[in-house]
Chain A
Amino acid sequence: MQQKERLDREIVAMRVARELRDGDVVNLGIGIPTLCSQFVPEGRSVTYHSESGVLGYGPMAEPGEEDVDLINAGGQFLAPSPGMSFFNSVEGFAMIRGGHVDVAVLGALQVSERGDLANWMLPHRGIGNVGGAMDLAVGARRIIVAMEHTDKSGSPKVVRECSFPLTAPECVSLIVTDIAVMQVAHDGLILTETAPGWSAEDVQALTEARLDVSPDLGDFRL
């Protein structure tokens, strides 16, 4: 098979960012999700929430301006930003579980065809970091996964059943990878967009779960 080009992380983040609506409160996970804030379409105002205890953060701090008391949950230093607020962890997670966060963009190890999410533990390591992922997965109104389509060894990450320990069952609504966009519907996954040069068959070949192809299948909508 001819080597097809995969999209880089910034393009995946750009595609996810198109999903964010004006006024959304958004929590971005570590990795590709973090990049989404650079690509929110003009004219949309998004408020960022982080489990470190901050709402309404903006750009990262400039080198030399770092403050250990001003970080996001990924440990990045934030710049002071007008309108931001701080709170303790009880309140930060009340916002999440209480349904006050509209969208969480998370990375994943595996996502199943029912939208089960596994993103906190590799079984062979025997130990894992759950952090705020389980709370976000059950609490945010909409979960978008942003990830590579296959793992480092080339195995599919979009699977029929997750073999890794779950973060939460049936929580993901949209999966954006470096070759495809898939919606989680009641009866399985619908392939709606593919990366340039990739056919539905190409994507299916790297996907363990069965994909229904949308009648409106097209290129990545950026």
Chain B
Amino acid sequence: MNKVAPTFGEAVADVPDGSVLMIDGFAGPGGTPQNLIRALRDHGARDLIIVSNTAGLASVIGFGTIPGDRPTDIGVLVENEQVAKIIASFPVSPSPSRPTAFERAYLEGKVDLEVVPQGTLAERIRAGGAGIPAFYTPTGVGTLMAEGKEVRSFEGRDYLLETALKADFALLRAHRADTLGNTQYRGTSRNFNGVMATSADTVIMEVDEIVESGEIDPGAVHTPGIYVDRIVEIA
């Protein structure tokens, strides 16, 4: 099966309104699928639920951004009124004088928010990809995060029951993939990419380079091709 898609537009052309998407990016441009995000903006699917670490930060405060660069992040989807809800750990600007597009839309009541602790977010995504419907974590006990959740004690310590997250699509950014979808990330850009790849029905990756199968050392594959559906090379 050929997983190589010719263009970013074709790679996202079947994303319907109302989809749940996982989109990587820790907070800066590294690891963010900027081309796929722009393609999704141009495609125009609406009422999207987006799972991501932030709600678009680099374009506003330059987080992790080379001075002078203007990266694209999921803020463009919020500005384009395509987003119904964001599930994130770091949704607002740390600089109140420079609010994100999401923050403005949220305060106007145009978009919903679920704040999830970052480690819980990662683990919920992992669980979704691993066939685990829910798990107990110590994170959030005794805080607002515990509201409405089951608390259970194990060996004298309290834990919250958290449920798995799954998505219809994941838009991801990697360094290299072979034609079978075996993937490698660069440096700290593996973070959520490496787990979101496991938890979406259709996983779409933009990569710096597509190579023939066999060219990536099997022992150095970060995401095995079983998880990856479409690959687009960044020109």
**Residues of chain A having any CB pair with chain B under 8 Å:** 30, 50-54, 66-73, 75, 77-78, 86-90, 92-93, 96-97, 125-135, 138-139, 165-169
Query: How many interface residues does chain B have, given as a range?
Result: 35 or more
**Residues of chain B having any CB pair with chain A under 8 Å:** 26-31, 53, 63-67, 89-92, 94, 96, 103, 106-107, 113, 115-123, 125-126, 137-145, 175, 185-195, 222
Contact assessment for B187 and A166 in the assembled complex, using a CB-CB cutoff below 8 Å: no
Contact assessment for B139 and A51 in the assembled complex, using a CB-CB cutoff below 8 Å: no
Partner of B64, one of A71, A88, A166, A169: A71
Partner of B113, one of A50, A54, A73, A127: A127
Partner of A89, one of B30, B66, B191: B191
Contact flag A167-B119 (CB < 8 Å), given A52-B191, A97-B137, A129-B92? no
Partner of A166, one of B91, B139, B142: B142
Could you say which of B106, B119, B189, B193 has the most chain A C-beta atoms within 10 Å of its C-beta?
A: B119
Query: How far is A86 from B179 in the complex, measured between Cα atoms in Å?
Result: 24
A-B contact pairs, 8 of them (CB 8 A): A53-B188, A86-B185, A89-B26, A127-B103, A134-B139, A135-B119, A139-B119, A169-B142
Contact assessment for A138 and B64 in the assembled complex, using a CB-CB cutoff below 8 Å: no
Contact flag A68-B30 (CB < 8 Å), given A88-B194, A132-B118, A168-B142? yes
Contact flag A54-B188 (CB < 8 Å), given A71-B64, A128-B115, A138-B139? yes
Partner of A135, one of B26, B91, B139: B139
- Which residue of chain B has the shortest Cβ distance to A125 in the bound complex? B96
- Which residue of chain A has the shortest Cβ distance to B197 in the bound complex? A88
Contact assessment for B90 and A68 in the assembled complex, using a CB-CB cutoff below 8 Å: no
Q: Given A90-B123, A127-B115, A135-B120, 4 more contacts at CB 8 Å?
A: A69-B189, A89-B118, A138-B141, A169-B142
Query: How far is A3 from B185 in the complex, measured between Cα atoms in Å?
Result: 54
Partner of A168, one of B94, B118, B141, B192: B141
Q: Which B residues are in CB contact (< 8 Å) with A129?
A: 89-92, 94
Q: Which B residues are in CB contact (< 8 Å) with A52?
A: 26, 188, 191
Could you say which of A67, A70, A128, A129 has the most chain B C-beta atoms within 10 Å of its C-beta?
A: A129
B95 to chain A, nearest CB (A): 11
Query: How far is A66 from B30 in the complex, measured between Cα atoms in Å?
Result: 11
Contact assessment for B28 and A75 in the assembled complex, using a CB-CB cutoff below 8 Å: yes
Contact assessment for A66 and B142 in the assembled complex, using a CB-CB cutoff below 8 Å: no
Contact assessment for B119 and A93 in the assembled complex, using a CB-CB cutoff below 8 Å: yes
Query: How far is A54 from B91 in the complex, measured between Cα atoms in Å?
Result: 22
Partner of B118, one of A51, A75, A88: A51
Partner of B187, one of A70, A97, A139: A70
- Which residue of chain B has the shortest Cβ distance to A88 in the bound complex? B194
Contact assessment for A130 and B190 in the assembled complex, using a CB-CB cutoff below 8 Å: no
Contact assessment for B190 and A86 in the assembled complex, using a CB-CB cutoff below 8 Å: yes
Contact assessment for B138 and A75 in the assembled complex, using a CB-CB cutoff below 8 Å: no
Q: Which B residues are in CB contact (< 8 Å) with A88?
A: 122, 190-195, 222
